[in-house]
Amino acid sequence: MKILAAMSGGVDSAVATARVVDAGHDVTGVHLALSQTPEAVRAGSRGCCTIEDARDARRAADILGIPFYVWDLAEQFREDVIDDFVSEYAAGRTPNPCLRCNEKIKFAAVLDRARALGFDAVVTGHHARLQIGEDGAPRLTRSVDEAKDQSYVLAVLTPEQLRYAMFPLGDTTKEQVRKEAAERGLSVADKPDSHDICFIANGDTMGFLRSQLGSQPGEIVDGDTGAVVGTHDGAYAYTIGQRKGLRLANPVNDGKPRYVLSIEPVQSRITVGTAEQLDVTTVVAKRPVWTHGEPPAFPWRGTVQMRAHGGLAEATAEVDADGRLIVGLLTPARGIAPGQAIVLYDGDEVVGSATIISASA
C-alpha cells in the first residue's frame, strides 16, 4: 500500500511510521506546519508544530529512509481550530481543540489531499486500535494503554475517514513505544510528550482568550440568592465546574466552596453554586456521528465519556425527533460542559460521539 505518515516530530508518530515501513508499505512522511510562528521553540512539553518539531520529524524520516515533506496548513488550522476555539468560548461553551484538529485537519484536509495524491491510507501515532470488519465498517476501540488512550478524540471521525486511517500503536504502551524508538536509534525516544493546548504554548488559556476577545467585565452571582459575590474580566475565561480562579470577594454564608454552574456570555454573567448543584443526570447532544455508519438499536445502554481525561459513566441513550442524542446517566456526574464531546462505548469499542449542548438534573 501507498501510505502517507503524519509525522509530528514526536516519538509516537515516528514509531508508527517505522512500523508501516517495516510492514513493507511504500511510505512518505509529511509534517504538518500548523503554527503561524514556526520559528518558535518548544517550551518543554508545551506547544507543537515548531521548527524544532519539523526538524525532529525530518531526522526520523531520514533514519527510516523515506521521502519527507512539510505541508503548510497554518491558515486552515487557524480557521478551523483556533478561530473555532475562540468563538466557542465566546459563546459560553468549552471546546476540545484536539478533537477539532483531528476532525478538520488530520482526517479531513490531510486525508483528502492524500487520497487526491494517490495514497491508500494515512497513518498517525494515535493510541487507539482500529480494524475494518468484513462488512467494511470500522471498529475503533481503546488502546491497551488506558492512560494514553486517544479513542475519545478520534470518535468524531466518520466511518469513511476511519476506513483510510491506520493506528499502529494501539496494541503498545507508551513505555514500550519509547523503548522501541531507542532501539531504532530515533532521537525522539526521550522527547517529552506535548500536552495542554498546542497553540497556547505557555499554558495561559485565559490570557490567550483575553488577547483575542479583550476585556469583558461582568458579575459573578450566587445561584441561590442572586447576590453578587464577585466580578470577572470575561465570562469566556470560565468553564462549567471550575473552582480555581473565581476570586470571590464576598464570602458565602455556608462556607462551602463555590463552582461555576452556568455561563451567560451575552450578559457577561457567571453563576456559582455548591458542588452538589453541579450534579446532572441528563445530557443532550447534537450532530451524532456513528462509528459503524449506522446508529445502534435504541434504547441503547453502555458507557459514556464526557471529557478527554474523564472516567466512564454507565448510561442509556435515545435519539429524539430532532435527531439529538438524549443520554441518561445512571449515576449523577459533575462539571459537564456544553461544547465538549460525549462518546458512547460498548465495552472498549466506540459506538459514536456527539457534541454536548446542555446538561441538567
Q: Which residues are catalytic?
A: 101, 198
Q: Could you tell me if 21 and 64 are in contact, meaning their C-beta atoms sit under 8 angstroms apart?
A: yes
Is the omega angle on the peptide bond into residue 95 within 30 degrees of 0, that is, cis?
no
Tell me which residue of 266, 258, 192 sits closest to 228, measured CA to CA: 258
Which residues neighbour 356 within 8 Å (Cβ) at sequence distance 6 or greater? Answer: 283, 284, 285, 306, 336, 337, 338, 339, 340, 341, 342
Q: State how far the Cα of 358 lies from the Cα of 57, in Å rounded to an integer.
A: 41
Sign, CA dihedral 127-133-138-140, equals: negative
Q: Could you tell me if 213 and 86 are in contact, meaning their C-beta atoms sit under 8 angstroms apart?
A: yes
CB atoms within 10 A of CB 225: 10
Which residues neighbour 134 within 8 Å (Cβ) at sequence distance 6 or greater? Answer: none
Length in residues, the chain: 361
Tell me which residue of 328, 326, 357 sits closest to 341, measured CA to CA: 357
Q: Using alpha carbons, list the distances in angstroms from residue 224 to 61, 109, 186, 227.
A: 59, 47, 58, 8
Q: State how far the Cα of 208 lies from the Cα of 43, in Å rounded to an integer.
A: 16
DSSP state of 275: G
